[in-house]
Structure 1
Amino acid sequence: MPKIECYLDCVSPYSFHAFTYLQKNAEILKTHDVEIEYIPVFLGGINVSSGNKPPWTLSAKAVYAKYDGQRAQKYFGHSFGVPEWWPILSLLPQRALTYIKKTYPAKTAESFQSCFETMWYGQMDISKPENLVLALEKVFTATEVKEIVAAAATPEVKAELSATTEHVVRERGAFGVPWFWVVNGEGQGEPFFGSDRWHFMWGFLGLPFEDLNLKSRI
């Protein structure tokens, strides 16, 4: 069965863009029997393991990101500012999402949505427990939120997030997020990186789609 493994970290605005786009097209993908799996990973760990450097640590990338970020927001229908406290150390929310994926799998997408929106639209640092609680309370009961936050601090969940992060680097070739591992109907798998490679992905999956077409003024 065709499948899209989507590896995300809430610290990444491009992860938010990719998530939004996939959710928007989830029903169409379902008609083509394409499964979507959202998987939390730790971007900081991916950068260390792969040797990649975040855009804000390289001056040329940082300057370009100001333009590209606004273009991406316009394309994906978002409008938010980058908080002065960003980037965050995203271990806590990613560990919480790891536990949610394992324990409440049906609420994984909804939990990602709430975390993304709380941080980017709510302008709240969800690496702080009190803000993460506010994000999760939109999806879970107060008792469940307490359980999730407590579980995020356990050695088991910490180890699971670490293992998933190493897996996407070593086995899927990741050097950033959003990262995708896509399997087509013939069982072939390939990696895709970023929030702007959908036409390549749809082509690999053999899905019908309309590519960008430049129109004449005449």
Structure 2
Amino acid sequence: MKTITCYLDFISPYAYLAFEALPSALMGVSHHVVYKPVLFAGMLKHHGQLGPAEIAGKREWTYRQVLWQARQLGVRFDMPAAHPFNPLALLRLALACSTDGAPNRWVCETVFRHVWQGGMAADDASRLPALVQQLNPARAMDAPEVKAQLKANTDEALARGAFGVPTFCVDDKLFWGLDALPMMRAYLDEDPWFDNAWGSVANVQAGVKR
């Protein structure tokens, strides 16, 4: 059985769609998925990048693409009232539902759908109490250990080479994004392509640096 670590942030529409598509992508494969919330903004800061929703033109394209992809996948998808938004409360709530920094799939599903179904403001403080009641976290959202776990998860993802969400880690391989699910499935199916092609990219020289 393979263990798949899924690094996610509820702010990402691609993470939501990949989360919903994951069971079908892994059907028939013996596996165990560990879900680890991370702070995408912290990853962007680490790499000195802006998020897709912070770049004019790319922002609009991102929203159009995810609406299309949701339609293709048959996944209910409603843009929240505002995006991007501050996901810290939702990330901490999910982590407060676990003791090890890895909330279960139901918790992640509930938070994802809180954001991406219904078209309401994801960070509306008046909606949070009902979500807290539904999830019934084992720890306080603002507990120091919960905040520390979010940082630890983010640092762990960065240490493994992650640069965005969703990132799926299997063995020493990282698969980034919704469109990487078929590639990850091929690896799990022991596709021989990975024997040589995966590592060959290390030999490509950088022709110019800006």
Category of TM-score, reference length = shorter chain? 0.7 to 0.9
Q: Which residue of 1 aligns with 2:155?
A: 166
TM-score by structure 2 length? Answer: 0.80
* 1:8-35 CA distance string (max 9 Å, x none): 1111111111111113456x35xx3211
Q: Counterpart of 1:102?
A: 99
Quote the Cα distance in structure 1 between the aligned partners of 2:100 and 2:144: 16
TM-score scaled to structure 1, two decimals? 0.77
Offset, 1:46: 1.2
Change (3 A) 1:176 1:37: same
* Unmatched segments (≥5 aa) in structure 2: 192-210
| Cross-structure match for 1:15 | 15
Q: Please tell me whether the aligned partners of residues 115 and 132 of structure 1 are also in contact (alpha carbons under 8 angstroms).
A: no
Matched, 1:192 2:175: yes
Aligned counterparts of 1:203 and 1:60: Cα–Cα separation in 2: 33
Question: Cα offset for 1:164?
Answer: 0.9
Q: State the superposition RMSD in angstroms.
A: 2.4
Alignment pair present for 1:119 and 2:115: yes
The correspondence for 1:155, drawn from 125, 134, 144, is 144
Q: CA deviation at 1:64?
A: 2.2
Q: Which residue of 2 aligns with 1:201?
A: 184
Asked if 1:179 is matched to 2:176, the reply is: no
| 8 A contact 2:25–2:181 mirrored in 1 | no
Please tell me the residue identity of whatever aligns with 1:36. Answer: V
- Percent identity for Structure 1 against Structure 2: 28
**Distance in 2 between the 1:136 and 1:77 partners?**
28
* 3-state SS of 1:86 partner: coil
Unaligned runs of 5+ in 1: 184-188, 209-218
Separation in 2, partners of 1:54, 1:104 = 24
- Shift of residue 137, structure 1, vs aligned partner: 3.4
Deviations 1:20-60 (A, max 9, x none): 1113456x35xx32111111111111111122211122223
**1:22–1:133 CA distance, 2 compared to 1 (3 A):** farther
The number of equivalent residue pairs is 191
